[in-house]
Amino acid sequence: MAIVEVRDESFSTEVENPNNHTVLVYFWAEWCPPCKVLGPIIKEISEELGDQVTIAKVDVDNSPESASKFGVMSIPTLIVFQNGEMKSKLVGLQPKEQLVQWIGEYI
């Protein structure tokens, strides 16, 4: 599945909708060096997992309400939502293998 750009205005529809199965939310910012490393990894994961997971990319500078609502204090932060509910959170740059295993618990 493609990576969807999400802003505060569309967050509830794209992520918190109870009809959504598994959504991985990637909180990032353009100025964040670890985010620049994680971005291509997230893209690879998106391509590998296909329709099993939706990836929602949230720029914390453009969507501060969403970041604040979910306690995003540092970036990158990844949060898994399932059926509209937050299930798990990871903070910081993680190896691809660890991310795939973590997401795999929810798909």
Tell which residue, 30, 23, 37, has the closest CA to residue 61: 30
Give, for all 107 residues of the chain, the pLDDT tens digit.
Answer: 679 999 999 999 999 887 778 999 999 999 999 999 999 999 999 999 988 999 999 999 999 999 999 999 999 999 999 999 999 999 999 999 999 999 999 98
Query: Is 63 in contact with 51 (CB distance < 8 Å)?
Result: no
Q: What is the CATH number of the domain that holds 56?
A: 3.40.30.10
- Catalytically annotated residues: 32, 35
Please count the structural domains in the chain.
Answer: 1
HSE-CB for 53 with a 13 A CA cutoff: 27
Give this prediction's pTM.
0.94
CA distance 101 to 107: 10
Query: Is 102 in contact with 44 (CB distance < 8 Å)?
Result: no
Domain enclosing residue 26, as ranges: 3-104
DSSP string of 30-99?
TT-HHHHHHHHHHHHHHHHHGGG-EEEEEETTT-HHHHHHTT--SSSEEEEEETTEEEEEEES---HHHH
Peptide bond preceding 34: is omega within 30 degrees of 0, i.e. cis?
Answer: no
